[in-house]
Structure 1
Amino acid sequence: MHKWSFVSVLSGLLLTVSVSVSVSAQADQVVSSLSALQTAMDKANPGDRILLADGSYTTSSPLTIKRSGTAAAPITIAAQHTGKAEIKGSSGFSFSGGTSWVVLQGFKLRHKANFSVPAGATHNRLTRLDIQLGGDGNWLTANADDTEIDHNVFQNRTAAGLFLQILGPSGAMSKRVHVHHNYFYNHQFSGSNGGESIRLGLSSYQKYSANAVLEYNLFEKADGDSEAISVKSSDNIIRYNTIRNSRGFIVLRHGDRSVVEGNMLFDNSGIRFHGNDHKIINNYVDTTGGRGIIFGSGSEADSGPTSKEHDRPDRDVVAYNTVIGQKDVIHGDGGTFKPKDCVLANNILIGTSGNLVSMPSGSVVKYEGNIAWGGAAGMPSDGYKSVDPKLVKDANGLWRLSPGSPAIDAGVGSYPYAATDFDLQARAGKYDIGADEFLPGGARKALTTADVGPLAP
């Protein structure tokens, strides 16, 4: 809709009349063969929408995306109906370097070749794709800045390799990659290493800032590696994800200054971290596997830029989490170099036996404001209270504070970066201990398949 102004003289008066004129946008272009799709993509202009009709299509060469849209008018290449256009064969879509502002949407990808967004191909979006490829290696690699990867499903893999790798050009991490509302399902590689759902960087990239945000993703049967999310870069945010029925953890394996916030982890999953200046806050961990949050082992004091060893945790803060398990719900892996100048504060820790906190001798950790219940605390006496936090299970199966809980208004110290609880509600005054601030309207629940993937809102 465009507004045009006309000037008219009526009875000697100058009037400006605004008239709204409807200008039709270019119609969607529907194609029904791969050759027609390639031709349309080669001629695409900003704002064009190219739709592939429902059906199954077999490739013998890559479907190359060369043309760029703009921020205001991206080029859209999509299945006419989500999940109804299947791409099989030897190859799939291929972004040319420098191709930007393209939306790839709605395809069912069953081809053999892996695919990537190369460095230089910025501001592209991959959305509502059903990805189950036949090739070895990493199915999708994002090497470009400002790539958005959302509402996809990555599923059913038994071979080594990743569902998603976020990397970048040699000597730099891709910046500001946003991964959200995806469903990572059933990675069943049976080897000891190399089957992560997401890897964010490499050991040799650990000192590079990525500024990635991974949020609102659901992981189920993430069993291909002990690391469902493996972070090997710096300055990232991992928040509001759900992991269940998986052996994979959220792991800050290499890098510094990342935030792990508001995640929900169930069954055998948890959080492990190495490196410096991380914040592990407002997470809800309900584990039957024992260890819920792990201060990772240190085989060196501080990792060099290309080291593959385990960096000692330094100056990391674990605060305002709710961790429910059996024993060792907070655990230190040990190693030659122990955690140094770290903080464990204002967490609710619930177990059934043994020590709830088990840190190796020589660790330098400040303990304050924690509640420990159901087992021996394993902390200095001034770092906790042994008192029933009076949690009650809500309609969604989550343990929350109830009226009269000793956790209410009991937080100590200053942790302003924990000011939003796991319901995304603002804490006020003295914070409540644990992930849940006792406020009306808290309705957070674990993500389900209705919340993520190609058909989610």
Structure 2
Amino acid sequence: MTSLSALQSAIDKAAPGDEIRLADGSYSAGSAIAIKRSGTANAPITITAEHVGKAEINGSTGFSFSSGASHVVLRGFKLRHGGSLSVPVGSTHNRLTRLDVQLTGGGNWVTLNGDDTEFDRNVLQNRTTQGVFLQVLGPAKDMAKRVHVHHNHFSNHGFTGANGGESIRFGLSHHQKYKAGGIVEYNLFEKADGDSEAISVKSSDNVIRYNTIRDSRGFLVLRHGDRSVVEGNILLGRSGIRFHGNDHKIVNNYVHTTANRGIVFGSGNEADSGPDSKLHDRPDRVVVAYNTVVGTTDVVHGDGGDFKPKDCVLANNVLQGTGKLVSMPGGSVVKYEGNIAWGGPAGMPSGYRSVDPKLVRDGLYRLSSGSPAVDAGVGSYPHAGTDFDLQKRSGKYDVGADELLPGGARNALTKADVGPLTTTVR
């Protein structure tokens, strides 16, 4: 296709298995490019740029999914138009892939409301206005189910206001009790400075794993919701992990912070949030285990608040810094066991050894041969059974995010690993 009118005509007639290509060039859309047809699981409809990044959509608007349009792949476009892009409730099993998104309007640039949406290998970049790059939501009284967000590059959100500039917002406060079952993995966040939360999770039962956040003030934050897993993420520079809510697992993460707080037991303004509360929920029964946190002081911190962390666990972490390592407010109920604290006062009443973990830096800090962390894990934490190099632990686990095994060579993600031009398949 060489015009938007021809593209729209082809989309309107599309049948399962069809692939519709738009030629390289710049196209101005004065009205929405409507996607109303559906493919099937084995024969999706594919709407694609002829070459990735070479067909640019500008003007006042862009693609628009109609409710019920399912099994559609939208691929390879450079989006420079106004308005936003959304997948509505009722549109399922769609894939948005290899898009270059830098819209000219405000608000939330991309919103995923449909179940089983895949959002992968896109770049969202360069904004200074309030609003999020990517929002996952769903019906008014539920969450979109099983949304998979992976191998994307979120870059340069420079909004300078106090709130409302997240890179990803997964839910909203009044959606916090709904189970989403989403997976956010293998994404790179750089200069995520539009909000103190680069990833803001406000729903339940999600997995946030294997992402890299670097050179950003935004943290990975479980802001609302319960029972999520934060695993194997790499956070470098000013970023860290903060959580509220109940029954989370924070395991096998690597945090090297230059701004003190690496892992934060979030402040509690209430004991347990109701379904519509916007207050900060006290952390209850959260397990923080087998992480490596390197910083200066307060590498593990409790914010305080009227409601202190309750029945939480800090176990088998390597904590290394130059000042006090753990600062938990009085009245917190935390079980400490198996931790290694090195470089400053531990700040824990028990459950630690002050010994040099013998970390060596090979891109990231890992254990060296002869480290006292080897085979030193205590207690049973089977959910930490894969270390941050994605290697299976066995026997007695090594303390920290790294299991001393041959072949461990994972590093932080770079632009070569994510985004529209990455050569990784699927």
How far the C-alpha of 1:79 sits from its partner, in A, is: 0.2
Return the match for 2:354 from 378, 386, 390: 386
Q: Distance in 1 between matches of 2:270 and 2:61?
A: 43
Partner of 1:200: 170
Task: Return the match for 1:105 from 72, 75, 79.
Answer: 75
Q: Which amino acid aligns with 1:68?
A: S
Question: Residue 136 of structure 1: CA displacement?
Answer: 1.3
Residue 350 of structure 1 corresponds to 320
The equivalent residue for 1:438 is: 404
Residue 121 (structure 2) pairs with residue 121 (structure 1):
no
**Cα distance in 2 between the residues matched to 1:432 and 1:291:** 24
Cα deviation digits, residues 192-226 of structure 1 (max 9, x gap): 00000000000000000000000000000000000
Classify the secondary structure of the residue corresponding to 2:417.
coil
Unaligned runs of 5+ in 2: none
Q: How does 1:77-92 map to 2 (within 5 A)?
A: 77-92=47-62
1:28 alignment counterpart? none
Paired residue secondary structure (1:120): coil
> C-alpha separation between the residues in 1 aligned to 2:378 and 2:422?
40
* Letter of the structure 2 residue corresponding to residue 447 of structure 1: L
Gaps of 5+ in 1: 1-30
1:228 maps to which of 194, 198, 201: 198
Return the match for 2:333 from 364, 384, 406. Answer: 364
CA–CA distance in structure 2, aligned partners of residues 367 and 113 of structure 1: 50
Report runs of 4+ in structure 1 exceeding 6 Å deviation: none
Q: How does 1:325-336 map to 2 (within 5 A)?
A: 325-336=295-306
Which residue of structure 1 lines up, in the alignment, with residue 368 of structure 2? 402
1:321 to 291, 294, 297: 291
**TM-fit CA distance, 1:169:** 1.1
Between the aligned partners of 1:113 and 1:205, the Cα distance in structure 2 is 25
Q: Cα distance, 1:429 vs. partner? A: 0.2
Q: CA deviation at 1:146?
A: 0.2
**Is 2:327 aligned against 1:377?**
no
Deviation at 1:380, TM superposition (A): 1.3
Question: Partners in 2 of 1:410 and 1:278 — Cα distance?
Answer: 23
Residue number among 169, 173, 188 corresponding to 1:218 in the alignment: 188
2-structure distance, mates of 1:271, 1:143: 26
Q: Find the counterpart in structure 2 of residue 24 from structure 1.
A: none
> 1: CA distance between counterparts of 2:220 and 2:179?
18
> Is residue 2:208 matched to residue 1:242?
no
- Secondary structure (helix, strand or coil) at the match of 1:312 reads coil
For residues 29 and 120 of structure 2, the distance between their equivalents in structure 1, rounded to whole angstroms, comes to: 25
| Aligned: 1:149 with 2:119 | yes
SS in 1 for 2:5: helix
For residues 255-274 of structure 1, give each alpha carbon's deviation from its aligned partner in whole angstroms, at most 9, with x where no partner exists: 00000000000000000000
Amino acid at match of 1:356: L
Alpha-carbon shift at residue 123 of structure 1 (Å): 0.2
% same residue: 76
In structure 2, the partner of 1:19 is none
Distance (whole Å) between structure 2 residues aligned to residue 286 and residue 402 of structure 1: 18
Shift of 1:115: 1.4
Amino acid at match of 2:378: V
1:426 counterpart residue number: 392
Q: After superposition, where does 1:51-62 map in structure 2 within 5 Å?
A: 51-62=21-32
Structure 1 residue aligned with 2:261, among 285, 291, 300?
291
Whether 1:453 and 2:422 are equivalent positions in the alignment is: no
2:86 maps to a residue whose letter is S
Deviation digits for residues 5-37 of structure 1 (CA, Å, limit 9, x no counterpart): xxxxxxxxxxxxxxxxxxxxxxxxxx0000000
Letter paired with 1:287? T
Residue 281 (structure 1) aligns with: 251
Where does residue 300 of structure 1 map in the other structure? 270
Structure 1 residue 160, shift from structure 2 partner? 0.2
Q: 1:166 — aligned with what?
A: 136
Q: Deviations over 1:406-444 (max 9, x none)?
A: 000000000000000001110000000000000001111
Number of residue equivalences:
423
CA distance in 2, matches of 1:157, 1:240: 25
Aligned equivalents of 1:151, 1:125: Cα separation in 2: 11
Distance in 2 of aligned mates of 1:393 and 1:336: 40
Superimposed CA distance per residue, residues 163-201 of structure 1 (whole angstroms, 9 cap, x where no aligned partner): 000000110100000000000000000000000000000
Correspondent of 1:265 among 235, 238, 243: 235
Residue 135 of structure 1 and its aligned partner are, at CA, apart by: 1.1
Structure 1 residue aligned with 2:152, among 174, 182, 195?
182
Q: Deviations over 1:230-251 (max 9, x none)?
A: 0000000000000000000000
TM-score by length of 1: 0.92
Render the CA deviation track for 1:22-76: whole Å, top value 9, x for unaligned: xxxxxxxxx0000000000000011100000000000110000011000100000
Q: Secondary structure at the match of 1:429?
A: coil
Q: Which amino acid aligns with 2:152?
A: N
Following the alignment from structure 2 to structure 1, what is the Cα–Cα distance between the partners of residues 335 and 66? Answer: 51
- Tell me how far apart the structure 1 counterparts of residues 394 and 349 of structure 2 sit (CA, whole Å): 28
Pair 1:414 & 2:384 matched = no
